[in-house]
Chains A and B, each alone.
Chain A
């Protein structure tokens, strides 16, 4: 495998992109989970698909558009979708979770229309549904790298504000924190991370990478920083382990990554149970 990794550029792209996503997806996932917004990832991934379908559709009519990476249009849709969710959550103050199904179904509706206009599925689109490691290009890798740098910068610089807002929003605002702006910045970086993670694990599985590692670490971590650290560790183990397994067993990498993180979650739950039973 090492030899193959040195030889094939696509494998290098896949591993490097996977390692970066293994950091940023669980990192933002921690904040989403503790704020009970885990499903936002699902809503945004479906909006992203609509953007990618729109980009592929445009490529059909405008030849030069074919050279534009569809991920960028996906990111644009995802960003608009994230702001839309924030707005809806304000409109339905007492039914905040309504924002999720509205955006999710809207995204699928839009995506299906674009796909039908483009005369149905082609293999490109299929790659985005379930993820395709082979399809990751150098330009995709560049996009993931840039987004990783932005996400790390935002989370490090706004860490204490994000933490406080997640724990107790009302109190944070009383203390003079500008919650509204920080929310918008946060939801935008979530949108970007989802758009770039899609190529590895696909639309249908991207939210798993943001939530499963967190679900596992939250059971065993002491404190918030440790939860973040463990989530990233489990995310990395799933991505790297999943890619290696997929290579040797010749199975779909996206699914393998997600299954591996689900297995880690189950093992942690069982160990925790066993430990509690002992004491």
Chain B
């Protein structure tokens, strides 16, 4: 396997019964890239992420993560993950910001090992990177949605990953914090050299930040560099979204998902 791709997914298909969520998707994340994976709700984005992380097994196709087959992948500390549900934790949970970020070191430390001064410094450094170092003693539940999201990014960054996967990280975050947040991601990619894969249903706000775009709606409709994507004509795009809107209405009419 080549070492230049963080993710190499080839001909991946996934279905629940006879309903295909992903069909013959081939998808790569080159090293150093900032890939925006866009698609309407229910397009299979989260399923693809779960397959990349080895949480779901595709019925067809192969996935390599950092050059290793994903089911044999061990170096989880090199991959940071911020899930869509990161914000849906129990907000009464009595954990300080410092403690939440330290969780990110759990697998790097390994069983029966404790944090030392170096690890504590790594936690403060990660908090500084996202501009939250002043909040380290606060309980996580006391922070705003945007601040919590930064803390979860810090948790993903603390193990010094090469690759960061963010699954709709701005759900429930206000617009102002969202654009600040994308600036932060841009800096992490450019200045810290972290490869990013950002999943979002919001195509417009990210095209000036990402280096690559992938449009997914069951199949991959477009996958390439951002400049090419900007030439991807509008009727193609509305086809891509328009088709879906129809499906959604249809589902609603039948009391579906």
User: Using a Cβ–Cβ cut-off of 8 Å, how many residues does chain A contribute to the interface with B?
Assistant: 26
Q: Determine the chain A residues whose CB is within 8 A of the CB of B111 once the complex forms.
A: 157-158, 161
Check if B86 is an interface residue, CB within 8 A of chain A. yes
Cβ of B128 < 8 Å from any Cβ of A?
Answer: no
Are A223 and B103 in contact, with the CB atoms below 8 A? no
Say whether A223 contacts B95, CB under 8 Å. Answer: yes
Partner of A167, one of B89, B115, B138: B89
Please tell me if the beta carbons of A34 and B90 are within 8 angstroms of each other in the complex: yes
Q: Once bound together, how far apart are the Cα atoms of A157 and B105, in whole Å?
A: 15
Query: B139 near A: Cβ within 8 Å?
Result: yes
The answer to the question of A6 belonging to the interface, with a C-beta cut-off of 8 Å to chain B, is no
Interface residues of B in 92-121 (CB under 8 A from A): 92-96, 98-100, 102-107, 109, 111-112, 115
A123-158 contacts to B, CB under 8 A, are 157-158
**Contact (Cβ within 8 A) B85 A172:** no
- Does any Cβ of A come within 8 Å of B20's Cβ? no
Residue with the greatest number of chain A CB neighbours at <10 A, chosen from B90, B96, B103: B103
A163, B93: Cβ atoms under 8 Å? no
Once the chains bind, are A223 and B137 in contact (CB under 8 Å)?
yes
Which of B89, B109, B138 is the one whose CB lies under 8 Å from A160? B109
Interface residues of A in 1-41 (CB under 8 A from B): 34, 36
Cβ-defined partner of A223 (8 Å) among B86, B96, B106:
B96
Contact B94 A224 (CB under 8 A): yes
In the complex, chain A residues 174-230 whose Cβ is within 8 Å of any chain B Cβ: 174-177, 218, 221-227
A74 to B81, CA, bound (A): 43
Cα–Cα distance between A223 and B102 once the two chains are bound (Å): 12
Q: Is the CB of B103 within 8 A of A163?
A: yes
How far apart sit A221 and B96, CA to CA, in the bound complex (Å)?
10
Name the interface residues of B137-151: CB closer than 8 Å to any CB of A.
137-139
Contacts A177-B107, A223-B137 given: A34-B94 contact, CB under 8 Å? yes
Task: Say if the beta carbon of B76 comes within 8 Å of chain A.
Answer: yes
Query: B237 an interface residue at 8 Å Cβ cutoff?
Result: no
Contact B106 A224 (CB under 8 A): no
A96 within 8 A of B: no
Nearest CB in chain A: distance from B110 CB, A: 9
Closest to A34 in B: B93
B137 in contact with A170 (CB, 8 Å): no
Task: Say whether B55 contacts A224, CB under 8 Å.
Answer: no
| B104 contact set on A, CB distance < 8 A | 175
Known: A167-B103, A174-B53, A227-B94. 13 other contacts (CB 8 A): A158-B112, A160-B115, A167-B95, A168-B89, A175-B103, A175-B107, A176-B107, A177-B107, A222-B139, A223-B95, A223-B96, A224-B95, A224-B96
Would you give 13 A-B contacts (Cβ < 8 Å), ordered by A? Answer: A163-B99, A167-B89, A168-B89, A168-B103, A170-B83, A171-B83, A172-B103, A174-B53, A175-B76, A175-B106, A221-B94, A222-B96, A226-B94
Q: Which residues of B contact A (CB under 8 A)?
A: 53, 55, 74, 76-77, 81, 83, 85-86, 89-90, 92-96, 98-100, 102-107, 109, 111-112, 115, 137-139
- Pairs A-B, 6 closest by C-beta atoms: A223-B96, A176-B76, A176-B107, A227-B94, A175-B107, A164-B103
